[in-house]
Amino acid sequence: MHRIVFLDRATIAPQIRLRRPSFPHEFVEHGHTGPEEVVPRLAGATIAIVNKVRLAAAALAQLPDLRLIAVAATGTDCVDKPYCEAHGIAVANIRGYAVHTVPEHAMALILALRRNLVAYREDVLAGRWQQSGQFCFFDHPIHDLAGSRLGIIGEGVLGQRVAELAKAFGMQPMFAAHKGVAGLGPLYTPWQEVLETSDIITLHAPLTPDTRHMIAMPEFRAMKRRPLLVNTARGGLVDEQALLQALDEGLISGAGFDVASEEPPPADHPLMRAARRHNVIVTPHVAWASDEAQQALADQLIANIENFVAGRPTNLVRGAY
């Protein structure tokens, strides 16, 4: 009988139903798991479920019964995949569940920042409307989305969906060519042109050694139109200290970030230092987390486990995905 252990169930909202697999099994849930608890909690487990808990080679070497690591997310950087491949441990992830929730969150950040909703809300709560002496006031600039140029970095399913939503608002989406790469075809706009001509830039790329800090001071200084920068992908794509400097120098008009290089970020993290500005919105890595998307994730997670046990594994991961 399989022993299934979920090490960080609290990373899925409590209202989301996580059905039990259809085969005989023992199912154990832990809300959170610290590094020192990984090995004792997975002792005897044949299937581990993790979202962000790190499964390093040193821990995996002490878990001879483990056959499958079912990651309750798309990113699998928490798992030592080379060790798993060398020792016959399958790794499966979740795919395609966030096609609505992440693009909608990105557009919400864009709308809120473009129309200065945060600043106006704070002013209303502070009594500024009454102080104005008229039916409205104009303390913060408001810009339409229609006619603006949207640079999209990342041409996968999420970037494509953002482009569809942007077109509905009358925006002009551009898919950025990969940094330092030419000749990718007519779908792409050259990297430097996207930096120089975008009114808004939104990130939807994976975090790899090649994309880490793809946006840093040289890129900020190339942004001639002082765009908004939105990141609902991975925190490490942007040099966050450079982001703070770019905001200080007025190189960008604002920032909407749902991710950070360290999560949760400490109080002195650059994003936290920027978060109280009227032109910055920081959300706690919840772009993926609509109830509908979480339920789809939970259903796919259990399906991956059932398919593996049935001998027809799905969504297996290798390499650095």
Catalytic residues: 234, 263, 285
- The CB density around residue 72, as the number of other CB atoms within 10 Å, is 23
Spatial contact of 13 and 291, defined as CB atoms under 8 Å apart = yes
b/e 4-23 (16+ beta carbons within 10 angstroms → b): bbbbbbebbeeebebeebee
User: Backbone phi, then psi, for 152, in 5-degree steps?
Assistant: -110, 120
CB within 8 Å of 197: residues ≥ 6 apart? 149, 151, 174, 224, 225
Token pair 């864009």: residue: 110
DSSP string, 167-188: HHTT-EEEEEPPTT-----TTE
Short-list 30, 82, 25, 26, CA closest to 51? 30
Integer Cα distance of 204 and 157 in angstroms: 9
Helices (H) and strands (E) in the chain, counts: 12, 12
Integer Cα distance of 270 and 75 in angstroms: 24
Spatial contact of 247 and 255, defined as CB atoms under 8 Å apart = yes
Amino acid at 248: D
Integer Cα distance of 137 and 96 in angstroms: 43
